């Protein structure tokens, strides 16, 4: 097992730059998730770690060894592909054992390793089948098994669950996490699904347009998003944003929205008076207030999700979403008051998008 260090990595396809100087330090035994919208360069970065894509500039090391010029087969990594990439002309047994066979391990050892992996992944009854005869979930497990027997230093995953149905995805998510807790192999996991990222990661790397937006633990990103992009990307339903200008009165500082709605902010905030900002509040932090607290809103649409009710309402000409556990029935057009505790408010500079 080993750490992975990515420093100043760039990727060019011809004259098109896809990655703009990526720096990430992945510690030994860590489970790091690369997340971002599709097309942002996650797979490209992962494939550069794997050795499937040349590194245009910068350096990637595994442990203390710089691997820029090491071919994929000598990097001692294992990878699970989005479409599993199972060898269709080999049985499940041979698929899992292929890497060991290439490394000229003894028949005895190979068979032991395969049985062990099959045991862990519940594949024992299917070892003689061909990949064609397996369900999507089983194929996914075979792909995992192929990585498992390797005792590789690093596991790489490229959206391994995106071809599974929603239920199975949740199950496999937990299994992969449990597997990591057991094997502790350093892992880099790519997904575009922020829930997957939040639930699985030790640390998350949020990427956008070939740049790293923020690196941190899931709760860090949730509580202290470094900028508008991360704030918007992490959390579901996503954070509400209202534009405004910082002002103050005798009750304290607040953000004044376009229609002069008063959005209270903390006294400790470093925002300057007159600064153009974006006020952010997560739906789950917006509570219905009985009294005069908070700000006025007009209900537009109600969507019950079961545990909660999503209230979509108009505030200062912008649609926002509030999550309410109460089963009170609101009607479209109804005026309500919403309140966000000052500690839960996020403020971003309107021009740079950076957190204030």
Partner 1 sequence: MKSRTRIPTTPLLMILPSFLLAMSIIGYPILDLAWTSMQEVSRFGKMMGFIGLANFAEVFRDPLFYSSLVRTLIWTVAVVGGTLIISLPIAIMLNDDFYGRGLARVIVMLPWAISLTMTAVLWRWSLNGRAGLINATLMDFHIITEPIEWLATAPLAFTVEILVGILVSIPFTTTIFLGGLSSLPQDSYEAAVVDGAKPWELFRYITLPLMKPFINIAIVLNVIYVFNSLPIIWVMTEGGPANGTDILVTYLYKLAFRFGQLGKASAISLIMFFVLFVFTIAYVLMVMRQEHDSTAEEVKNDA
Partner 2 sequence: MTPKLKKSLLYWLLLSPLCVVILLPFGVMFVTALRPRDELFVYPPTWTFSEFRWENFVEMWVKTNFGGALLNSLYVSLTSTIIAIVLSIPAAYALSRYRFSGKGLYRNFLLMTQMMSPIVLVLGLFRLMVHLNLVNSLNSLVVTYVAFNMAFTIWMLQSYFNTIPRELEEASWIDGATSFTSLVKIFLPLAVPAMVVTAIFTFINSWNEFVLALTLIRSQNDYTLPVQIFSQVAGRYQVEWHHVMAATVLATVPVAIVFSWLQRYLIRGMALGAVK
Ligand X SMILES: Nc1ncnc2c1ncn2[C@@H]1O[C@H](COP(=O)(O)OP(=O)(O)O)[C@@H](O)[C@H]1O
Asked if 57 is part of the footprint of partner 1 (rule: CB under 8 A), the reply reads: yes
Q: Does 77 participate in binding partner 2 (rule CB under 8 A)? A: yes
Q: Does 44 bind Mg ion (CB under 5 A)?
A: no
Relative to beta strand 240-249, strand 276-281 is antiparallel
Report d(CA 67, CA 75) in Å as an integer. 7
| DSSP state for residue 177 in the 8-state scheme | H
Is position 44 an interface residue for ligand X (rule: CB under 6 A)? yes
Find the binding residues for partner 2 in span 40-59 (CB under 8 A).
50-52
DSSP collapsed to 3 states, 79-135: EECCCCCCCCCCCHHHHHHHHHHHCCCCHHHHHHHHHHHHHHHCCHHHCCCCHHHCC
Q: Can you say whether the dihedral through the CA atoms of 230, 235, 241, 246 is positive or negative? A: negative
Among 13, 59, 136, 319, binds ligand X (CB under 6 A): 13
Site mask, partner 2, residues 110-149, x = CB under 8 A?
A: ------------------------------------x---
To the nearest whole angstrom, how small is the minimum distance from the Cβ of residue 211 to ligand X? 12
**Interface residue with Mg ion, options 43, 185, 187, 324 (CB under 5 A):** 43
The smaller minimum CB distance to Mg ion, of residues 43 and 227, is found at 43
Whether a cis peptide bond, with omega within 30° of 0, leads into 325 is no
Long-range (24+ apart) CB contacts under 8 A made by 175-178 are: 176/144, 176/200, 177/31
Do 258 and 317 touch, CB atoms closer than 8 A?
A: yes
What is the DSSP annotation of 306-344? Answer: SS-EEEEEEETTEEEEEEE---PPP-TT-EEEEE--GGG
**Residue from 4, 22, 24, 42 binding ligand X (CB under 6 A):** 42
85 near partner 2, judged by CB under 8 A: yes
Residue 282 makes contact with ligand X by CB under 6 A? no
Show Cβ contacts of residue 119 under 8 Å, excluding neighbours closer than 6 positions: none
Select 43 or 138, whichever has its Cβ closest to Mg ion.
43
* Cβ atoms of residues 316 and 258 within 8 Å: yes
Q: How many Cβ atoms are within 10 Å of 297's Cβ, its own excluded?
A: 23
Contact between 39 and ligand X (CB under 6 A)?
yes
Residue whose CB is less far from ligand X, 41 or 283 = 41
317 binds partner 1 (CB under 8 A): no
Report how far residue 264's alpha carbon sits from residue 139's, in angstroms, rounded to the nearest whole number: 53
Does 66 help bind partner 1 (rule: CB under 8 A)? no
Residue in the shown chain whose Cβ atom is closest to ligand X: 43
Q: Which of 184, 302, 318 is nearest to 259 (CA)?
A: 318
Q: Does 40 bind ligand X (CB under 6 A)?
A: yes
312 touches partner 2 by CB under 8 A? no
Distance CA(144)–CA(78), nearest Å, equals: 9
Q: Tell me, residue by residue from 1 to 30, as one string, x for binding to partner 1 by CB under 8 A and - for no binding.
A: ---------x-xxxx---------------
Chain residues binding ligand X by CB under 6 A are: 13, 18, 36, 38-44
- Residues found near partner 2 in the complex (CB under 8 A): 50-52, 71-73, 75, 77-79, 81, 83, 85, 87-89, 98-99, 102-103, 146, 150
Which residues in this chain contact partner 1 in the complex, by CB under 8 A? 10, 12-15, 54, 56-57
């Amino acid at each position: 097992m080993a750490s992975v260090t990515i420093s100043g990595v760039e990727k060019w396809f011809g004259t098109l730059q896809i990655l703009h100087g990526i720096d990430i330090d992945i510690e030994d035994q860590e489970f790091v998730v690369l997340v971002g919208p599709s097309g942002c360069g996650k797979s490209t970065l992962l494939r550069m770690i794997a050795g499937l894509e040349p590194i245009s500039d910068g350096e990637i090391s595994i442990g203390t060894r710089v691997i820029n010029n090491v071919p994929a087969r000598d990097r001692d990594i294992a990878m699970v592909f989005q479409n599993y990439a199972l060898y269709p002309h080999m049985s499940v047994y041979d698929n899992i054992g292929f890497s060991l066979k290439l490394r000229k391990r003894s028949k005895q050892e190979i068979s032991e390793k395969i049985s062990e992996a099959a045991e862990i992944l519940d594949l024992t009854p299917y070892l003689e089948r061909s990949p064609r005869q397996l369900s999507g979930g089983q194929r996914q497990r075979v792909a995992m098994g192929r990585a498992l027997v390797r005792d590789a230093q690093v596991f790489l995953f490229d959206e391994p669950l995106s071809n599974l149905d929603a239920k199975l995805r949740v199950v496999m998510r937990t299994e992969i996490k449990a597997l990591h807790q057991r094997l502790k192999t350093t892992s880099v996991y790519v997904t575009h699904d922020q829930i997957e990222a939040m639930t699985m990661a030790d640390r998350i790397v949020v990427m956008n347009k070939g740049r790293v937006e923020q690196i941190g633990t899931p709760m860090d990103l949730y509580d202290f998003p470094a900028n508008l992009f991360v704030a918007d990307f992490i959390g579901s339903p996503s954070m509400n944003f209202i534009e405004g200008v910082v002002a103050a009165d005798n009750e304290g500082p607040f953000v004044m929205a376009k229609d002069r709605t008063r959005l209270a902010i903390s006294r400790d905030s470093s925002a300057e008076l007159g600064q153009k900002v974006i006020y952010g509040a997560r739906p789950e932090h917006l509570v219905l207030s009985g009294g005069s607290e908070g700000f006025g809103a007009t209900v537009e649409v109600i969507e019950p999700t079961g545990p909660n009710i999503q209230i979509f309402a108009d505030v200062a000409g912008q649609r926002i979403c509030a999550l309410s556990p109460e089963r009170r029935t609101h009607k479209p057009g109804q005026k309500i008051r919403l309140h966000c505790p000052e500690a839960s408010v996020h403020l971003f500079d309107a021009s740079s998008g950076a957190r204030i």
